[in-house]
Amino acid sequence: MADISSTRDRAEWNRRIAAMKRRQRIARIRQWTLLGAGIAILVIAAVLIIQFKGSKGADATQERVENTIERVGIVITPSVTEDEVIKEEPKSEYDNRSSVGKMYSYSEADNIAYLSNENMTSKNAILVDVDNSLVTGSVDYKARIYPASMTKVMTLLVAVENIDDFSKKVPVSREAADYAYSKKLSAVDFALDEEVTLEDLCYGTILPSGADAAAELAIQVAGSMDAFVDMMNERVESLGLSGTTHFTNVSGSYDDDHYSTCYDIAVIMNAAMDNEYCRQVLSGHTYTTSQTTEHPEGITISNWFLRRIEDKDIGGEVIGAKTGFVVQSGNCAVSYFTSNSGRNYIAVTADAHSAWRCIYDHVDIYLNNTQ
């Protein structure tokens, strides 16, 4: 270190330190000036590109701007034009149209069983061996019935086949909320304008048989319930059932022109269970809807047919089910059963005198008529 003991030396040392600090300040000012200039050029470039994009001479203007930016050593990423953006539609993780185009028909087995006995209360019933496309059990299964909420299997099928993004959130409309309330139908009890997913609506349609969910699902898919009912009847026709099944609403509420047969409901259930997403919904024992402002913990809903039959010893497992009730058809249900040997069956019953008797009719059918 230099000897700065004398006054002259100390003065020279202080002068050098002051000069060094001035040079450092000047260097910092230059750095900030260059940075500011670069930012200004970027802003000007963006404004010019936006202003002249699409007009005559826009390419030349953009080239001049980019050349200017290049000369001052600033690199930017070229903008992507609107035509170059690839817009991908959201896709379901499921093949939600797997049963479209399939036809289902069942022949009567040679040794078809008459299902009616002292334990059966349902006046109409069918048992289908799905694997062999055979009717193996029956009680007046071709008679016209009012399908009540078994209708919602078709509501679900048509909706699922026309949805691409089940996570999409939609507000519950007054029309859907009023539909369930005005007709005194079962409901999930979504709040007005509550933001729920299409998945919530699918599960809400089946598990608690929510008419509010079914109505909103129809509105979201088709724009109106009437338009959606047209889609349901088109799907009926595609399944070859238009001579014996006709729907007038999405929920299954009674209407003299809203009818089906046990055979036709079995076909519709078969098509739904061949659809991976529908199968998942119809197999759900419980489900909790999305957390919302109105329901911070969601709404927990249940398929009570599945929950009530799951502990019964019937030689297998009921995989999926949907119940229904209107006065004109009593208690009815459709269920899909896989036996312990791996064989698959569908049972449909109508006009039982109670919900529990309807369930026990299915227990009796599977326990005594399947392999």
Model confidence over 56-105: pLDDT tens digits? 444 554 555 445 444 444 444 444 343 433 333 344 466 788 888 899 99
Answer yes or no: do 164 and 283 share one domain: yes
* 59 lies in the same domain as 180: no
The confidence score (pLDDT) of residue 65 equals 45
Q: Which domain holds residue 55?
A: 7-84
Question: Is residue 365 within 8 Å of residue 125, measured between CB atoms?
Answer: yes
> Measured on CA atoms in the order 188, 191, 197, 201, is the torsion positive or negative?
positive
Q: What is the pLDDT of residue 71?
A: 47
**Are 180 and 233 part of one and the same domain?**
yes
Residue after which a domain boundary falls, among 32, 53, 84: 84
Say how far apart CA 35 and CA 25 lie, in whole Å.
15
> Same domain, yes or no, for 78 and 137?
no
Pair (32, 137) in one structural domain: no
Task: Please state, for a pLDDT cut of 70, what percent of the chain lies above it.
Answer: 75
Q: What's the mean per-residue pLDDT of the chain?
A: 85
- Identity of the amino acid at 300: T
Helix (H) or strand (E) holding 264: helix 262-273
Of the chain, the percentage scoring pLDDT greater than 90 comes to: 71
Residues 128 and 78 in one domain: no
Question: How many domains does the chain contain in total?
Answer: 2
Q: Which amino acid is at 257?
A: D
The DSSP call for residue 196 is E
Q: Which two tokens stand for residue 157?
A: 């099928």
Domain presence at residue 94: no
Together in a domain, 321 and 191? yes
Chain segment 192-242, per-residue pLDDT in tens: 999 999 999 999 999 999 999 999 999 999 999 999 999 999 999 999 999
Any domain includes 100? no
Burial of 126 (0-12, 13-18, 19+ CB in 10 A): buried
CA distance 222 to 198: 13
For CA atoms 107, 351, 310, 281, the dihedral sign is: positive
Measured CA to CA in angstroms, residue 355 lies from 98, 152, 309, 366 at distances of 32, 17, 12, 17
Of 203, 180, 355, the C-alpha closest to 286 is 203
Of residues 113 and 24, the one with the higher pLDDT is 113
Task: Based on the fold, state whether residues 37 and 131 are members of the same structural domain.
Answer: no
- Render 95-124 in DSSP notation, one character per residue: -TTTTTT-----EEEEEEEE---TT---SE
What residue type is 58 in one-letter code? A
Give the per-residue pLDDT at 2. Answer: 42
What is the DSSP secondary-structure string of 31-58? HHHHHHHHHHHHHHHHHHHHHHTTSTTH
